[in-house]
Amino acid sequence: MSEDEELPDLVGGSTRSSNSTAVSGGGDQNYVSPSPDQVLENVIENVLYFLTSRHDRNAASLVCKSWYHAEALTRSELFIGNCYSVSPCRVTNRFKLIKAIAIKGKPRFSDFSLLPPDWGAHFAPWLRAMAVSYRALEKVYLKRMCVSDEDLAIAAHSFPILKELVLVCCEGFGTDGLAIVARECRHIRVLELVDSDITDDEVDWISCFPDDVTCLESLIFDCVESPINFEALERLVARSPSLKKLRLNSYISIRQLYCLMIRAPQLTHLGTGSFSTLEIVAQGEQEPDYISAFAACKSLICLSGFKDINPEYLSAIYPVCGNLTSLNLSYANISAEQLKPVICQCHKLQTFWALDSVSDEGLQAVSAACKDLRELRVFPVEALEDAEGPVSEVGLLAISEGCRKLQSILYFCQRMTNAAVVAMSKNCPDLVVFRLCIMGRHRPDHVTGEPMDEGFGAIVKNCKKLTRLAVSGLLTDRAFNYIGQYGKLLRTLSVAFAGNTDLGLKYLLEGCPKLLKLEIRDSPFGDSALFAGLHHYYNMRFMWLSSCKVTRHGCEEVARQLPGLVVEVIALNEEDKETNEYVDTMYLYRSLDRPRADAPRMMVRPPLIVGKALYKYKAGLPLAGLKISRSPCGSMYLSS
Q: What is the pLDDT of residues 146-176, one digit of tens each?
A: 999 999 999 999 999 999 999 999 999 999 9
pLDDT band for position 281 (cuts 50, 70, 90): low
Instruction: Provide the pLDDT for residue 5.
Output: 42
Residue 522 has pLDDT above 70, yes or no: yes
Pick the residue with more confidence: 23 or 216? 216
Exposure class string for 155-169: b at 16+ Cβ within 10 A, else e: bbebbeebbbbbbbb
Report the predicted TM-score, pTM, of the whole model to 2 decimal places.
Answer: 0.88
pLDDT at 636 over 70: no
Nearest to 400 by CA among 428, 370, 429: 428
pLDDT of 141 strictly over 90: yes
Please tell me the distance from the alpha carbon of residue 80 to that of residue 602, in angstroms, as a whole number. Answer: 26
Pick from 241, 257, 261: which is nearest to 249 by CA? 257
| pLDDT number for residue 629 | 37
pLDDT of residue 18: 35
Produce one character per residue of 85-111: b if its CB has 16 or more CB atoms within 10 Å, e if not.
bbbbeebbebbeebbbbbbbbbbbbbb
**Per-residue confidence (pLDDT) for residue 302, from 0 to 100:** 98
Mean pLDDT computed over 1-17: 40
**Distance between alpha carbon 330 and the CA centroid of its chain, in Å?**
17
Percent helix, percent strand, percent coil in the chain, to nearest 5: 30, 20, 50
Question: Which of 53-62, 219-228, 365-374 is least confident?
Answer: 53-62
User: What is d(CA 511, CA 597) in angstroms, rounded to the nearest whole number?
Assistant: 35
565-571 and 585-590 beta bridge pairing: antiparallel
What pLDDT was estimated at residue 29? Answer: 58
pLDDT of residue 361: 97
Rounded-to-integer distance, Cα 353 and Cα 631, Å: 14
Distance CA 55, CA 5 (A): 8
If you average pLDDT over residues 213-217, what whole number do you get? 94
Residue 616 — very low, low, confident or very high, per pLDDT cuts 50/70/90? very low
| Cβ neighbours for 511, distance < 8 A, ≥ 6 positions apart | 483, 484, 485, 487, 488
CB 385 within 8 A of CB 361: no
The proportion of the chain whose per-residue pLDDT surpasses 70, expressed as a percent, equals 84
> What mean pLDDT is predicted for residues 246-271?
97
pLDDT band for position 111 (50/70/90)?
confident
Specify the pLDDT at position 609.
34
Q: Which residue has the higher pLDDT, 123 or 24?
A: 123
| pLDDT band (50, 70, 90) for residue 570 | confident
CB contact at 8 A, 7 and 496: no
Determine the pLDDT at residue 71: 84
For the cut 50, the answer to whether the pLDDT of residue 620 exceeds it is no
| Alpha-carbon gap, residue 296 to 290, rounded angstroms | 10
Q: How confident is the model at residue 53 (pLDDT cuts 50, 70, 90)?
A: confident
Regarding predicted confidence, which is higher, 41 or 629?
41
pLDDT value of residue 25:
41
pLDDT band at 525 (very low <50, low <70, confident <90, very high): very high
Single-letter residue type at 10: L
Asked whether the predicted pLDDT for residue 16 surpasses 50, the reply is no
- CA dist 347 and 352 (Å) reads 12
Arithmetic mean of pLDDT, 373-379: 98
- Percent of the chain at pLDDT > 90 equals 70
Output the pLDDT for position 30.
63
Distance, CA of 493 to CA of 543 (rounded, Å): 10
Whether 12 has a pLDDT exceeding 80, the answer reads no
pLDDT confidence of residue 43: 66
User: Distance (Å, rounded) from C-alpha 517 to C-alpha 527?
Assistant: 19
10 Å Cβ neighbour count for 382? 12
> Mean pLDDT across the chain, nearest whole number?
86
| Residue pair 590/85 in contact by the 8 Å Cβ criterion | yes
In the predicted model, is pLDDT for residue 313 greater than 80? yes
505-526 mean pLDDT: 94
Average pLDDT of the residues in 29-36: 62
The pLDDT of 438-463, averaged and rounded, is 95
pLDDT of residue 286: 85
